Chains A and B, each alone.
Chain A
Amino acid sequence: MKKTTITYGLAASALVIVVAWGLLAASLIPLWAAETAIVIAFPVLVLFLALWWRAPGGEEDIPFIGY
């Protein structure tokens, strides 16, 4: 996956979380709506954050599939 795609994904997930938190703090959305947004965005944030700062290199390989 390209670095720019990862950066966009990371920014989008962070934005969703910040917006959901802000709207909840302003009482514009109910708690369940904010929680739903965070449940969807948090996994994306975790993976994209790690993909963003991971070490470069490596290419797809075949795992050991038995003798």
Chain B
Amino acid sequence: MIEYLVFAAAFGLLLLGLHRKVIARVQMRPGPPVWQEILHALKFSFKSTWVPKTASSLLYVGVVLIGIGIWSAALFVVLAGESILILFAIYMLHKIVEHGFGLSSGSPYGKFGGVRSVISAASEIPLFVTIAAIYFFTDSLLLRDIIAYQAIHGPLLLIAPPAAIAMYIVILSKLPYGPFSIVESKELVSGYKTEHFGVWRAGISVIDGLKTFVLLFAFVAIFIGAVPFSLALVIMTVVLVSLSFVCAVTPMLSPFDSVTVQGIVTLLMVGYAGVLWWVMP
């Protein structure tokens, strides 16, 4: 099972490297090599490392451990076809972890990143929850039931496209250099990650790799259904490249605008769920 975790982290980092490459090519830059994020993780793990004087040591180190732990758990949840409610819960825990990263170091940059994480949680988590509208079709939130439903009726991507758009925006919100990436924007240096360096930053890279893999894999499982693993990896790559194009041509929104746009999409999704509730037998 540890091989799944190592593969997911490495493939997730590879996807993030591809993300940077696609953005660079769209913007007429050569960009870094595709495996740059894997090299970053290794490079940071070899650097000399300590805990800043102003940091709360327990929280500063603990959030890295918790971050890797929750996304490892999320991978097992998705692979086992368990409830997507657990995925929502892990997503909420991740927002708390981001906040913890920001507050633990005592740096104002990290703190602002943590505060923005809380602000974005107000819109991201309801947006994620709206994909539960698929319950009206499948009568279950278990991933294995959702996959079984699609084997009979076809992909939910075609049956409930608004729910797919909601999750697409959730994944877009979690990608770096995107319109909603307010928690690690450049005016805050690296946002909530600013004061986590060396080994701690290598841990964050593992978190980012696992998170990217889990969210894209969950997207494929929830909206495409059962496909061979190799084909799932190809679809995940295609979805990521489409997200990279969006990131490349869209400026980063201000925190207020980011929450407003996500909030409007959430309201539209709630309306969609209401219509489904009204018309579904």
Partners in one complex: yes
Q: Which residues of A approach B to under 8 Å, CB–CB?
A: 17, 21, 24, 31, 34-35, 38-40, 42-44, 46-47, 49-51, 53-66
Name the A residues within 8 Å of B108 (CB-CB): 64-66
* Set A47, A58, A62, A63: member contacting B48, Cβ < 8 A: A58
Task: Give B24 Cβ to nearest chain A Cβ, in Å.
Answer: 28
Name the A residues within 8 Å of B195 (CB-CB): 63
Give me 16 A-to-B residue pairs in the complex whose CB atoms sit less than 8 angstroms apart, sorted by A's number.
A21-B1, A21-B2, A35-B76, A38-B2, A42-B72, A46-B203, A47-B203, A49-B45, A51-B199, A54-B199, A56-B48, A57-B48, A58-B50, A60-B50, A63-B54, A63-B106
Interface centre among B1, B46, B194, B206 (most CB of A within 10 A): B1
Please measure, in the bound complex, the distance between the C-alpha atom of A15 and the C-alpha atom of B66, giving whole angstroms. Answer: 20
A40 touches B47 (CB 8 A): no
B64 located at the interface, meaning its Cβ lies under 8 Å from any Cβ of chain A in the complex: yes
Please measure, in the bound complex, the distance between the C-alpha atom of A64 and the C-alpha atom of B53, giving whole angstroms. Answer: 11
Interface of A is mostly: helix
Question: Contacts A42-B69, A66-B108 given; 17 further ones with Cβ under 8 A?
Answer: A35-B80, A42-B2, A42-B5, A42-B72, A43-B64, A43-B66, A44-B65, A50-B44, A50-B202, A55-B47, A57-B48, A58-B49, A58-B50, A63-B107, A63-B194, A64-B109, A65-B106
Contact with A along B181-212 (1 / 0, CB 8 A): 00000000000001100110011001000000
Report the interface size for chain B: residues with CB under 8 A from the other chain. 37
A55 touches B46 (CB 8 A): yes
B31 located at the interface, meaning its Cβ lies under 8 Å from any Cβ of chain A in the complex: no
A54 touches B2 (CB 8 A): no
A39 touches B64 (CB 8 A): no
B44's nearest neighbour on chain A, judged by CB, is: A50
Name the B residues within 8 Å of A65 (CB-CB): 54, 106-108
Q: Answer whether A43 and B69 are a contact pair too, CB < 8 Å, given A17-B2, A38-B2, A50-B203.
A: yes
Task: Give A11 Cβ to nearest chain B Cβ, in Å.
Answer: 15
Please measure, in the bound complex, the distance between the C-alpha atom of A56 and the C-alpha atom of B46, giving whole angstroms. Answer: 9
B105 located at the interface, meaning its Cβ lies under 8 Å from any Cβ of chain A in the complex: yes
Which residues of B from 202 to 247 have beta carbons under 8 Å from A?
A: 202-203, 206
B16 located at the interface, meaning its Cβ lies under 8 Å from any Cβ of chain A in the complex: no
B1 touches A61 (CB 8 A): no
Closest 5 A/B residue pairs (Cβ): A43-B68, A50-B45, A58-B48, A50-B199, A63-B107
Name the B residues within 8 Å of A59 (CB-CB): 50
